[in-house]
Amino acid sequence: MSYSKYLNIHPEIKKALANNKPVVALESTIIAHGMPYPLNIQTAKEVEEIVRKNGAIPATIAILDGKLCIGLNKEQLEMLGTADDVWKVSLRDMPYVISKKLPGATTVAATMRIAAMAGIKIFVTGGIGGVHRGAETTMDISADLIEMSQTNVAVVSAGVKSILDIGLTLEFLETQGIPVVTYGQHEFPAFYSRRSGYPSALRIDSPSDIADMLSTKWQLNLNGSVLIANPIPEHLEVPLQKMEVYINEALKEASQLKIDGKRLTPFLLKIIAEKTGGESLSSNIALVKNNAELGAKIAVELTL
Ligand code: PSU
Ligand code: MN
């Protein structure tokens, strides 16, 4: 492949993929732009550990020295979590950041694309980008959704955060032919909250049934992702009504400061974490770990 020379796959991951062993891709924007230091790095390491405990090999993805790095070492992780010149790399940023050999943390869209290049089928994150509130005038729709319509990598998330328009995001996913599966309940979850007020199109209760659906989809050449929504554990959720207050305040600040484009999501996350006195951050960490467990189990089933 013409892109092979850009791939830098960690030997352990390369070996696992060659032997049909389960591998789980992890993104790096959440490390560089989604959580403060040192919790970001600590969480990234713990998430990798959880993937291992559940039988799969973790593959954290980022762009470094002009290479698509699949599997990072301690120093690389530390750099991504501390440096302040790390790019937030979605698809449109990839060619420039790679050609200039700049450091880049990858979003869901970019991580999916790189995972697919390496042959990884399962990707775990916290939350995906989606259709922003007010998108009917701003047109702010994350490239994550378009990438999900075409790339064969399943995404495990805790649903869609209510900084986005959940209803419009679900409509967009439907239009793009992307199945939405909620694990273990009928209602689609809203990231910090188990409830969103929106029903999920599908409910599946076991990792093996999810894996069956994925392999069937891709055998049929129904290209694209499946959004696997995994509700946050009950004792760690922040109720929707409580989050709504903070989210509205954060959105107001963003519009006053004219924050838009790629800066919007990280800005909202930071303001919400401040306003909730860190409560949203500990929920965020807990749900990513919860997703890592489910993702690893699905990856294991997919190799059986
Ligand atoms: N949601 C979170 N944390 C994050 C992101 C989303 O709770 O860190 C990141 C992901 O990397 C996602 C990206 O792919 O934000 C979406 O950004 P945008 O809306 O600019 O496409
Ligand atoms: Mn956007």
pLDDT tens string 171-220:
999 999 999 999 999 999 999 999 999 999 999 999 999 999 999 999 99
Please tell me the distance between residue 17's alpha carbon and the centre of ligand 1 in angstroms: 27
- pLDDT, position 271: 94
Cα distances (Å, whole numbers) of residue 134 to 112, 188, 221, 259, 269: 26, 21, 34, 14, 18
Name the residue type at position 284. N
Q: What is the DSSP letter of 177?
A: T
Q: How many domains does the chain have?
A: 1
| Atom of ligand 1 minimally distant from the CA of 109 | 14
- pLDDT, position 1: 78
25: left (phi over 0), alpha (psi -120 to 50) or beta: beta
Q: How many CB atoms lie within 10 A of CB 102?
A: 17
Selecting among 88, 121, 161, 262, the annotated active-site residue is 161
3-state secondary structure of 257: coil
Residues near 143 by beta carbon (within 8 Å), at least 6 away in sequence:
90, 91, 92, 107, 109, 129
Taking residues 244-266, report their average pLDDT.
Answer: 94
Q: How confident is the model at residue 53 (pLDDT cuts 50, 70, 90)?
A: very high
> Which strand (E) or helix (H) includes residue 94?
helix 94-99
Rounded to whole angstroms, the Cα distance separating 39 from 43 reads 6
Output the domain CATH number for residue 28: 3.40.1790.10
For residue 278, pLDDT beyond 90 = no
- pLDDT, position 277: 84
Range(s) of the domain holding residue 288: 2-302
Ligand 1 site, CB within 6 A:
27, 29-30, 33-34, 90, 107-108, 126-129, 142-144, 161, 262, 265, 269
For residue 102, pLDDT beyond 90 = yes
CA angle, corner 145, sides to 3 and 175, nearest 5?
125
Packed helices 279-302 and 264-275: angle between N→C axes, nearest 10 degrees: 120
Please tell me the distance between residue 43's alpha carbon and the centre of ligand 2 in angstroms: 25
Active site residue 15: no
Active site residue 217: no
| Atom of ligand 1 minimally distant from the CA of 262 | 20
